[in-house]
């Protein structure tokens, strides 16, 4: 797996290089600077890209040889409102640790790495002109104030710069302060996000094709709830891209 190089704002590289030493923030040993997202080649190689075969609907990876498009058993039982969901990588302990530190410990030096993974894997299928906008999954205002940033919005902006597709943060609002989804069952996750989002655009949509972005997708309950609101407001199609795909 080759090193991922990303570009943030013009001043960001210089600031990060000044504040943080060029050392891999996973193994704390090998050299890795802002160009590599502070993740060395060896640690990067421990993170599996999500590659075919996978469920044509939710993107769940499948071990085995399948040449035709298929849907997994879970998708046949669920009413998922997005047309597809894809992720850059499969979650494993290394990836979960990076995402956890980024979200909860403000380890923002990982942002070029995470944004680079997302942009590199999503770019081939998200050509400008085919998709009208990128919409990040919103946080509840209380949680966003506590965390001081919305990771989905920041990753969305990185993807938007790479693909030249605009970000719209004005369409969705999280109106219910839900419990974390981490320890909930599939059924509990769906109930947890029921009516958690509302449309807050000034006027209804007119068939726009939208990419929802979040950091991790597990059952798809959160992104499906968001897609339902956008489709009801007039979106023509809603697809989903996340950095990681959970089990």
| Residue range 66-76: mean pLDDT, rounded | 75
| Residue range 170-195: mean pLDDT, rounded | 73
Question: Is residue 210 predicted with pLDDT exceeding 60?
Answer: yes
Question: Is residue 6 predicted with pLDDT exceeding 50?
Answer: no
Question: Is residue 76 predicted with pLDDT exceeding 50?
Answer: yes
Per-residue pLDDT of 7-52, as tens digits, reads 444 445 556 665 678 899 999 999 998 778 889 999 999 999 998 8
C-beta of residue 73 within 8 angstroms of C-beta of residue 227: no
CA–CA separation, 243 and 152 (whole Å):
10
Per-residue pLDDT at 15:
61
Question: Is residue 1 predicted with pLDDT exceeding 50?
Answer: no
The per-residue pLDDT of the chain, averaged, comes to 86
Integer distance in angstroms from the first to the last C-alpha of the chain? 22
Residue 99 — pLDDT band, cuts 50, 70, 90?
very high
- 98: preceding bond cis by omega (within 30 degrees): no
CA–CA separation, 39 and 186 (whole Å):
32
């Amino acid at each position: 797996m080759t090193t991922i190089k990303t570009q943030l704002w013009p001043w960001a590289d210089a600031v990060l290089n000044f504040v943080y030493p060029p050392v891999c923030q996973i193994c704390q040993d090998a050299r890795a600077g802002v160009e590599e997202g502070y993740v060395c080649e060896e640690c990067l190689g421990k993170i599996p890209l999500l590659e075919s075969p996978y469920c044509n609907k939710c993107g769940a990876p499948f071990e085995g040889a399948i040449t035709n498009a298929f849907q997994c058993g879970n998708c046949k039982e669920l009413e998922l409102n997005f047309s597809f969901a894809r992720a850059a990588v499969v979650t494993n302990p290394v990836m979960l640790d990076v995402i956890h530190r980024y979200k909860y410990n403000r380890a923002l030096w990982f942002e070029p790495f995470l944004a680079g993974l997302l942009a590199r894997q999503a770019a081939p299928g998200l050509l400008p002109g085919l998709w009208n906008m990128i919409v990040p999954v919103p946080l509840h205002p209380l949680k966003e104030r506590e965390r001081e940033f919305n990771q989905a919005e920041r990753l969305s902006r990185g993807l938007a710069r790479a693909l030249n597709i605009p970000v719209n943060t004005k369409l969705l609002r999280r109106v219910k302060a839900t419990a974390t989804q981490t320890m909930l069952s599939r059924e509990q996750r769906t109930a947890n996000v029921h009516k958690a989002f509302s449309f807050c655009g000034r006027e209804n949509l007119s068939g726009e094709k939208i990419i929802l972005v979040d950091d991790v997708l597990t059952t798809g309950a959160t992104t499906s709830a968001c897609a339902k609101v956008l489709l009801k407001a007039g979106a023509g199609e809603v697809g989903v891209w996340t950095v990681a795909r959970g089990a």
